Amino acid sequence: MMFLRRVLVALCGATVTFFLVVLVDLQLRIQTREKSGAIGAAGRGVWSDSRTHPGPPPGPSSPQYSWGQPQGRGNALSSALNRSLAALEQEIKYRRDRLSGLRGRVTPRPPLQLSDIFIAVKTTGRFHSSRLALLLETWISRTKDHTYIFTDREDKDLALKDYKVMVTNCSSEYSHQALSCKMSAEYDVFMASSKEWFCHVDDDNYLNPCALLRVLSAFPPHSDIYIGKPSLDHPIRAFEQLPDNSTREVRFWFATGGAGFCLSRKLAEKMAPWASGPQFEQSSAVIRLPDDCTVGFIVEQRLGVPLLHSPLFHSHLENLQLISPQQLPQQVTLSYGLFEKEMNSVEIRGAFSPDTDPSRFKSVHCLLYPDTHWCPRPFPM
């Protein structure tokens, strides 16, 4: 709106200035010619039209009245004034049309929708039944049309035909090469889509789509955003292999894939020279680190865009019991797993006991979506 106001003020000022310049110019020309005509008439002792009007000169009301200039000169000035006014009207019309075009271009963008977000889930065949099945039953059931599952093999036992499953040619090993292979596939499929955001989670994450939408909606469109939570309390230290086989030390923050992270499309597009096709795995090999570290390396080291640290993303590498039940609806991701040799999951009451729901994902899901058909009613906090 401030931009439109400035354009309107500038247009009005230019219009008035142009009109005043035209009028002053015409007035100065008339006065100059009047003086020249009077001097010329005094020297000759006759009026310019004395041949048709002998005797005293006609009065100002006469159509033939002219101080030292023929009638055609006045018509020329009138024509010049008309042309100036026509030019002024044309300029006003041009600026008005241009302003209308600007109004069309600054139309407020519609609010961010879940359909604008590409949600990638990384898994492996051996975790289909123990991890992926739980996600399909809980949060993926709410984001089915926007969630893409990247795995290393097909599964006839798990009903996946109604889901967006991407079977990669990546190894099922837990190595930085295999992990980077899947991340490369995630990136390429996202880039081929029209989605505005890329968000990655692991198969041991619970994703709260409403909280995710709130967080991403807070950022201005078309900005460079890399958001997540690091697993370290300091930048990671790595050694980048250079073309001459020497190495240099690099330090950068990265968002751990175990808590999930998001990239805006604008930033993802800038990553292409180091992330598209085989480039991502090559970037991973340069620093000899896995997929999530490679993303941080490209974003922070190659592009100079800092990671936005968010406390709303969580991995099993932190004490999840510090999150209160009242805070759960605001969290973007949760996780579970062993932490210091004990089961690490959020504490929440519910009809599902820790034995039947060790991850507590079912209990969290019933808290967020009590209308789910398998959730007990009423659901206690």
Per the CB < 8 A criterion, the answer to whether 305 and 264 are in contact is: no
Report helix, strand and coil shares of the chain as percent, to nearest 5.
Answer: 45, 15, 40
Pull the structure tokens for residue 381: 């906090």
Burial of residue 120 (CB within 10 Å: 0-12, 13-18, 19+) is: buried
**DSSP β-bridge partners for residue 86:** none
Tally Cβ neighbours within 10 Å of residue 78.
11
Q: Which of 162, 173, 175, 164 is nearest to 125 (CA)?
A: 173
Q: CA quadruple 100, 105, 110, 111: dihedral positive or negative? A: negative
Distances (CA, A) of 22 to 25, 81, 267: 5, 8, 51
Q: Is 145 a catalytic residue?
A: no
261 DSSP β-pair partners: 200, 228
Give the separation between CA 34 and CA 71, rounded to whole angstroms: 13
Catalytic residue among 116, 202, 292, 357: 292
| Cα torsion 284, 286, 287, 288: sign | positive
CB atoms within 10 A of CB 286: 19
269 with 195: CB under 8 angstroms? no
No. of H helices and E strands in the chain? 10, 13
Question: Catalytic residue numbers?
Answer: 292
